[in-house]
Amino acid sequence: MAVITPQPGIMDIKLYESGAAHVAGVSNVVKLSSNENPLGPSEAAIEAFRRGSFTLHRYPSSDQAELRTAIADVWELDAERVICGAGSDEIITFLCQAFAGPGDEVIHTEHGFAMYKISALAAGATPVEVKETERVTDVSAILAACTDRTKLVFLANPNNPTGTMIGLAELERLADGLPPQALLVLDGAYAEYVEGYDAGASLVEGCENVVMTRTFSKIYGLGSLRVGWGYAPKPIIDVLNRVRGPFNLSQAAQDAAIAAVRDTDYLTHCRTENAKWRTWLANGLAEVGVPSDTSNANFVLARFADAAEAEACDAHLQAQGLLVRKVAGYKLPAALRITVGDESACRQIVHAVKTFK
């Protein structure tokens, strides 16, 4: 008889709840549950994607040279140290596959992004959770959790779902204090929302043990195309390219991402709009009695008295077609994560929370 078992811990992972794109009985759903850009992608990216449809029978570029060069030109990086994947999810997966296995430990923070733990378990490694202080990354606690088996330390900055972030000096202290066999992975999925923040690129330049990940799913508005990238020292890139499938990114996705990254005016426009409506949303919620932490990203973490109140508010919002994210899975059951939508969505949310309260 066959005895087929997955890696330890896999069956404890909860299946992803997508936050349905429709709600029964409600025609106009406003989706604010996945931190998507309400303005969508740059027109140039849409046009490039359309052009890609003429060559669907061809395999895509396997070395992704044009995309890597476009990214490197815009962010002033070395194209030889860029790797692209099907979303930054895939870069996280590559890192775990290549660097962590049975007996190894992978550190993630208490309210950190769920994929770190999932990818660690899938690689057979042991995820280690480190507590945050007041929902802010605690570098000393991370360093204290390191052992001679720590292989990867994942940290999103700004963090999801808290929206909090720590400064460059703290990131440097973390990179400097890690044991020699450990890699620090700075996840910059929301980095472009912070004006002037290089997402840790300068740390990658100066350290042998730091990797940065980025995505086209958030400010670039290309979540459906699944394009993410990593920036790392050359020896790390050389390892990651060995576990990367040669055709992991469709040509249309590469072409759209090239156009998107070059459209820097549109990026600035999206960042400015997000900052404006994020402030408006946070203030509006505070005025109706729902505080939130200062967010550096494109969402706010709205805080309720307890889990029951957060649940009830979520149901109230859903009944009106307003989809937000419950964060019980991140052990924040008294909070709802609300993506900063466009003006109309922000106004609808504040109005609905007011009527709930």
How near is the Cβ of 354 to ligand PMP at its closest, in Å? 28
Q: Which of 186, 249, 240 is nearest to 213 (CA)?
A: 186
Our finding on whether 160 is near ligand PMP (CB under 6 A) is: yes
Q: Which of 225, 208, 242, 312 is nearest to 37 (CA)?
A: 225
Q: With respect to ligand PMP, which residue has the nearer C-beta, 19 or 321?
A: 19
Show the tokens assigned to 286.
């505070």
Q: With respect to ligand PMP, which residue has the nearer C-beta, 52 or 228?
A: 228
Residues 6+ apart with CB under 8 A from 184: 153, 155, 171, 174, 175, 178, 207, 209, 210, 211
Question: What is the enclosing helix (H) or strand (E) of 229?
Answer: strand 228-231
Our finding on whether 116 is near ligand PMP (CB under 6 A) is: no
How near is the Cβ of 228 to ligand PMP at its closest, in Å? 4
Stretch that binds ligand PMP, among 67-75, 81-89, 102-110, 177-185 (CB under 6 A): 81-89
Contacts with ligand PMP in 226-285 (CB under 6 A)? Answer: 228
Query: Position of tokens 């919002």?
Result: 317
Our finding on whether 113 is near ligand PMP (CB under 6 A) is: yes
Q: With respect to ligand PMP, which residue has the nearer C-beta, 155 or 285?
A: 155
Our finding on whether 295 is near ligand PMP (CB under 6 A) is: no
Our finding on whether 87 is near ligand PMP (CB under 6 A) is: yes
With CB under 6 A as the contact rule, the residue among 89, 104, 192, 263 that binds ligand PMP is 89
Residues 6+ apart with CB under 8 A from 132: 109, 110, 111, 138, 141, 162
Name residue 5's amino acid: T
Q: With respect to ligand PMP, which residue has the nearer C-beta, 156 or 285?
A: 156
What Rg do the C-alpha atoms of the chain give, in angstroms?
Answer: 20
Q: With respect to ligand PMP, which residue has the nearer C-beta, 191 or 237?
A: 191
- Do 139 and 166 meet the contact criterion of CB atoms below 8 Å apart? yes
Beta bridge partners of 153: 107, 184
Residues 6+ apart with CB under 8 A from 263: 42, 44, 45
Q: With respect to ligand PMP, which residue has the nearer C-beta, 138 or 187?
A: 187
DSSP assignment, residue 192?
G
Our finding on whether 223 is near ligand PMP (CB under 6 A) is: yes
Our finding on whether 217 is near ligand PMP (CB under 6 A) is: yes
Our finding on whether 88 is near ligand PMP (CB under 6 A) is: yes
Cβ-in-10-Å burial (0-12, 13-18, 19+) of 147 comes to exposed
Contacts with ligand PMP in 23-52 (CB under 6 A)? Answer: 35
Our finding on whether 187 is near ligand PMP (CB under 6 A) is: yes
Could you tell me the strand order of the sheet in which 150-156 lies? 82-85, 228-231, 210-215, 183-187, 150-156, 105-109, 126-130
With CB under 6 A as the contact rule, the residue among 215, 250, 292, 296 that binds ligand PMP is 215
The count of residues interacting with ligand PMP (CB under 6 A) is 13
Stretch that binds ligand PMP, among 83-91, 99-107, 167-175, 333-341 (CB under 6 A): 83-91
Contact residues for ligand PMP (CB under 6 A)? 35, 87-89, 113, 156, 160, 187, 189, 215, 217, 223, 228
